[in-house]
Structures are given as C-alpha cells and as structure tokens.
Structure 1
Amino acid sequence: MYVTSPHEDIKSASGISHQHNSNKENIVQLTPSRMKFSYIGALCVFMTVIAAAECITCNQCLVLGAEECCSVKDKECPGTQCMTISEYCIADDIEYSSMSKTCGSDELCGQSFTLTTGLGFEARASNQCGEGDGSNANLNFTKSSGELLPNGYTCPRCYAKDSIDGCEDNGTVECLGKESECVYYRGTVQIADSSIRKFSLKGCIVPGGCKIGFSGLPGSKEMKKEIMECVPAKRKNDSKQYFD
C-alpha cells in the first residue's frame, strides 16, 4: 500500500487548484470575446437589412425645353420616395418647360415654387412624389398655373431685361396661390433654351423662395447672383413700406 506524504498531498491539491483557476481564467477571458464577435455579427446583419429596406430605385432624367423625358435611367435613392419636378418659366412672354425625375425627400415632396412679376417674367415649379421603387415612372409633367388665384397680398413689381443694375417700380402685382413674400432679384441666369439672361426684377414669391432661389428650377441655372432679398408682402391698402 502506497501512502502519500503530506507534501505530495499539498502539491497535488495545489496542482488541481491551479488547473481549476487556469480554466476559470480562460473561460472569463474567452466568453466576453465570443459574445463581442457574436454581437458585432448580429449588428452587421441587422444594419444590412435596415440599409436594404431604406434604399429604393427611382427613375432619373432631365429634359430642358420640353415636357417629356427621352432617356430615363435607374437611380438608387435613400428613403422611400421618388419625385418628379415640373417647371415652366416665362421670359419676355416666351414660355419654356422643363422636367426632372429623381430621388424624393420629405422637405420637397408636395412643395411648389412660384414667382410672379406680371411684367413678362414668371417662374413656376411643382413637385410630385410617390412611394416605393419606380414610383415616379408615371408622374409626368404637370402645369399648375390654372390653380394660382389672387390671395389678397400685393408686392411692388418691375422687370428690366439685360440689366443687373436694378429696375424702377412699375406699380404693384397681385400675389397668387401661396405667394406671401416680395422678392427683389438682380443676377444672371441660364434658362431652359440655354440662353443666358441678365435681369433685375421685383414681384411676389412663395415663403422660403429666397432660400430656394433659381436652383429649385430644373431648367434654370444661376450663373451669378447680385442680390436676392425677400420681405413679407402686404395686404391691399396697407400703407407700410415693402423694402427699406
């Protein structure tokens, strides 16, 4: 019969204890790591699903001086909306139409841009939006001028062709539709027929129109802006000044 010495017992117990502690340390070290990689993997899958759900395909095109696109491409868009922008601009009593199809946004969908002088220069743009893939495919050019009725506001009016030096007031113009601000503009703009026009004007414009400017019109490109100032319009028979 073999009898272990007290020293051997202590050594054996120490070895078992050491091995147990070593395994415990390994478990403590590995488990969080595995959990971390598992969490990251799940997060990546989740984000991929979310990203795929928030991307759609919209029709994309731009046509200047016409009301129908000849060539349409697909465009990957964030969000869920596709948009069609319709514009017509009257310059020196000649009307130019343009249209653009692109991605939609909550800020622009259903909005419109109008500027009225009553002196041979007007600008109109409206946005239509649809939900889901290709939802702007059947959203075609639309002209909203028939819906624009006087709203009780007035602004000073003037229009000077080929001049960025300003224009002299020529009475007042009745504001239409949602127009409730007066605009004073001087600058150089390329319009839908590719001609570059220098002009000065005053008239009515929709709220926020100065912020949008001519960049909101698909058929127009602002080459240089000298000034674009907007102030609140006034009701008829109101004696307050429009511009300082």
Structure 2
Amino acid sequence: MKNLVALLCMTSSLVGSDSSYKCFSCWSYNSTTCNVSATECLGDRCMTASQYFNIGDKTFKSVYRGCANKTLCGTKGSGIVKNMKFRFYVFCCTGNLCNNQSYELPLDNLTINGVKCPTALCTGTLEECKSDKEVNCTGSMDQCMDYRAKLKNPDGTVEKYSAKGCVNSDCCRYNFGSNIGFEEIDREYLKC
C-alpha cells in the first residue's frame, strides 16, 4: 500500500460524477499549514487528513487536503509502538472548496482499556522485532499489531522497519502506509 497521499490522489479519480468540483489541494509534512491551490475533482466531496506522529521527544503534525476518497472519510486511526504514538483523522465535506478547515484531530482518549500488546520497534531489518516489553492500550486501540516493511521516509531515504504495538481497527486497516509523507515500498508482514 502506498502512503496516504498517493492513495488519496489515485483513488480520487475513481469517484464518479457527471460534474466537476474544486477542492483545496496541498500536503505538508511536519506542519499544520500548507500552501493551497484549487484542483478539479470528480465528485462533489473534498477532504482534509490530519496526522499527529510522536517519537521520543519529537512531534510531527502533518496535513493533506484534496479530492475525497470516500473509503477514508471519517477514518480515525491511532496506535502506540514502543516510544512512538501516531493518530490520523480524515474529514470529508461536500461542495466546492469546502475543505478549508484548520488542522484538527479529535482528542486522544488516554484511558487504559485493559488490552496489552507486545511492543517493539526495530530499524534496518525485516526480521521479527522481539521484545519482552508490553504496552497498555488506550481508548479505541483494541488490537495488537505486528508489521514489517520497507518504507520510504519523508526525506527520501528507504529504511526497513519491524514494529509491534497497539492499534485500533482503522489504523490496522491503513497501518504505517497511512502516515503522511511515508511510502510503503514493500510489505513483508502485517498481522492484527
């Protein structure tokens, strides 16, 4: 699966309609604002995808605006992998240039829900990343994930990742390929 930006661009052309609408279009990795332009879309829906990505002491907030992919509308993904947290939200609206809202993510539910998952993050390998540590899942994160893939980072470098942690159902469906700016090159394994 390609990153969310590529997925959104490719599938927006599949939305059928006899008339054309315009949506604001832009994407920005590690910024909540981006230089917008108008783009023609098939269908009458636009979208804004907001993302929060935290690893260690670094926090990245990213945004994408463009033509809607109806399968992603309303998606709220969240996950915890070792010392990394990530969330994304896809808001869709109907009409010309309707996706002008500011960066927004629903509040994170930090309530421990009783699910515990093994947690590990390894780079440079597609082998299983093993760890005897567990993480307490929170909010809607009710599934354990084991993921291994080669990803293209936002800076253009390609790296192998092996990760385990807590995710919710939306995050499992779109996994690390959903991160704005990342591109999944080759998936080795995914199990939720």
Q: TM-score with structure 1 length normalisation? A: 0.64
Paired residue type of 1:134: L
Partner of 2:22: 57
Confirm whether residue 68 of structure 1 aligns to residue 10 of structure 2: no
Query: Map of 1:222-241 to 2, 5 A cutoff?
Result: 222-230=184-192
Partner of 1:123: 86
Question: Cα–Cα, structure 1 residues 195 and 149, in superposed 2: closer, same or farther, change >3 Å?
Answer: farther
Decide which structure has greater strand share: 2
SS of equivalent to 2:174: helix
Partner of 2:51: 87
Preserved CA contact (<8 Å) 1:96 1:192: no
Distance between the aligned counterparts of 2:76 and 2:97, measured in 1? 22
Confirm whether residue 218 of structure 1 aligns to residue 185 of structure 2: no
Distance between the aligned counterparts of 1:92 and 1:123, measured in 2? 12
Partner of 1:162: 124
Preserved CA contact (<8 Å) 2:75 2:170: no
Percent of residue pairs identical: 26
Distance between the aligned counterparts of 2:60 and 2:130, measured in 1? 26
Distance between the aligned counterparts of 1:216 and 1:193, measured in 2? 16
Preserved CA contact (<8 Å) 2:54 2:86: yes
Distance between the aligned counterparts of 1:143 and 1:192, measured in 2? 21
CA offsets per residue over residues 26-46 of structure 1, 9 Å max, x none?
xxxxxxxxxxxxxxxxxxxxx
Question: Cα–Cα, structure 1 residues 84 and 148, in superposed 2: closer, same or farther, change >3 Å?
Answer: farther
CA offsets per residue over residues 126-185 of structure 1, 9 Å max, x none?
112222111102x22224464443333222212223332222233321222322211101
Decide which structure has greater helix share: 1
Deviation at 1:210, TM superposition (A): 3.6
Could you list the runs of 5+ residues in structure 2 that have no partner in the other structure? Answer: 1-16
Distance between the aligned counterparts of 1:148 and 1:130, measured in 2? 28
How many matched pairs?
176
Structure with the bigger RCO (C-alpha within 8 Å, sep 6+) is 2
SS of equivalent to 1:51: coil
SS of equivalent to 2:71: coil
Deviation at 1:102, TM superposition (A): 1.0
- Residue 133 of structure 1: which of 84, 96, 104 is its match? 96
Paired residue type of 1:226: E
Distance between the aligned counterparts of 1:65 and 1:121, measured in 2? 15
- Residue 164 of structure 2: which of 180, 196, 202 is its match? 202
